[in-house]
Structure 1
Amino acid sequence: MELWIIFSKLIIILLLSFSYVQSKTSSLAVIVLAILVYFSINITLYLIRSGRVKICIHLVSIVLIFITFREVNTLFILLLPNHFYELSWPFFKKKWVLLVMGLLPVFFVPHLQASYGLVALFCFVVYFMTSHYSHRLIKYENTLDKMRMDMQRLSKSLNENKEYIRQSEYTSRLEERNRISQQIHDSIGHSMTGALIQMEAAKTLIAIDQTKAVELLQNAINISKEGIEDIRITLKNMKPPTEQIGLQRLKLFIEEFSIQHQLRMPLVHKGNIDLITPIQWKIIAENISEALTNSLKYSGASEISIDIQVLNKLVRVEVRDNGKGIVSGKVVKGLGIVGMEERSASIKGTVIVDGTNGFSVTTLLPIV
């Protein structure tokens, strides 16, 4: 705002100088001296931040303007509107009142009425525009500061959530390790301890009572077998089902892909998912990933659906988008489709590509 005010004062001084050159009503040295004194006072005005000191400097400037108006050159009165508006602008809510008050001196300078009126209007417009845009700038800065604080708060909250998740995962792992350790100790540990006691007793009795020793060894063998069976059952219970791993990984991948690229991606699965083997899940995931990438590149689709069906003899996986498809109807197989076909063929499967209604890639894998 200050730059615009200084610029307006400079324009008025140039106007004053131009008018003086045309009229030459007073000494050039006196005019230059008055302008230098005015400049010096106004430079001080923009170097000081204290409001009271600024008001005093404005009053000194106004006094100087009236003195130079009476004693040096009447053209100096043209500098008055700038100081009047700058001094009184913050104290009036109705700015039109200031305009009227700023135009009042027109009646006391009859030979400068037109010039003074134009200068007063020019200064009012400058102050109105600078005040208006300064308020908008302050509003935008406050909004920006608020957004910056909100971002910092959200970033802090996000970091705290990440730390909480990390600690929760670590705590969950510790609890799982503790549960497994306790389970091994309670079931398998007791069995192994019992078998060891039986074998130690058999070792002691082997030279005295072989029949009893053989009986104890057989008990130890039976206990060991039970312990091994307990180990197998425990590991089986701890290991998640294959279909659960494959399906959950696929759901997670599809959800991340959907959020990242702003696409609707419904996933439907039917049939006995347990029949899908790990190698089949690997091929299904890779083929779906390749099909989604191709749809994203070429189709311009807003929705891509994934349909997994486990039938009697095969697994059918279809990826279909609602994009533009293939206008000519002839599909040109690139490296992506060829790669899908090779992966499927490695376990005697096949891939069917259709571009007539959107674009679809169907993977067929036999159930062994």
Structure 2
Amino acid sequence: MRPSAGYPRILEGLLDAADVEYLKGFFDLQVKTEWEKNEALAASRNQPKPRRSLEYYTLLRHLHSEPRDHSLERVVSKLYAAIEKQLGSGFVIVHDFWSWRTPENVPAEFIHHDPDFWVAGRHDGFNLWILLDHADMSHSFDILVEEKNPKLYEIVGDKAGRLLPERDPKKSQSCPGLLFWDPLSRWPLLYERPWTRTLAMVLGVGFNKFWEKSQQGVLQLKRLLPTWAFRCFMFFAGWCFRLTPLPPGLELRMDRFKMKEGDALVLRQYELHTTDQDQLQSHQFRLAVGVKVLRQAPITQYCYTGPASRTRRSYPCLRWGLGELLPDFYRATKLDFKPYPSTFLTRALFAATAEVALGDAETR
């Protein structure tokens, strides 16, 4: 039995109405306004409208700003109290994030794990995903729960991955899709030191581009070859691309859960999930805020493909040391969120990593 298998699914009424209203106002002021500024700037330059992607660490940055925001401090204290009471002791919040779902905005289009769960020595982490507001969307995103997908999780085991489902109905029975195993490693320690950070960014762009292009190439090969020939190729060469084909006839059964505003869904570390893909009506939307929570343990490896890690590495105060305990940033006394100095090269490399959407290779 997995360490987190017994966690409750929903923490009802985790935040009260005042907390919910505060966070909705925070989102409008600190996140949505920034999106709108970026969109206006892009329009003035005749550039494409930027995507409203998941935002990370906005609560943490505000928590350590002056003057102190006692409403946010109260919310963070409530989160830690609920975690200790209902999920156990020894956990720390690793990062916060926002989820904004509209007909035009799908935060995470592919089925995935969060690879940041696997950076430390304990694998019993979870996300708290708190519903704040919605219009006819009183439910969570979609989750492949283990109880309904036992064969899938026998393959997944205790590794972080992303799932590329087969969209061709003629091939979906014989090969339902591919699993891409996230490339966590120790070399991204180079990001954690100012004098090796540029080298790490160069390596990161190279590796990310390789994984993206290799996925596209393998998916193209999958379309061209008969399934038996493709499986033969993957048997010998799949390890090169960190890809594993799913067995014939495997069905993926998604679940979503009814929620009320202020409720928190508990996503267990090992659960593959994705934003619900329903066609929405123009008035529908859903706003949620979340935190990633890990047991405080020594850092054993780093993720270099995820957007949360990319954001964290912008700030010297959020450095993680290999072999050191995960820092408890949300209960730290004071953090200085001055970013690393930028140059033309580092800005270009940072932008290049943003263009890579691992796990979504078919859409690029």
> When the two structures are superposed, what TM-score results if normalisation uses the length of structure 1?
0.19
Q: Which has the higher helix share?
A: 1
**Radius of gyration: which is bigger?**
1
Q: Which has the higher strand share?
A: 2
Q: Which has the higher contact order (CA 8 A, sep 6+)?
A: 2
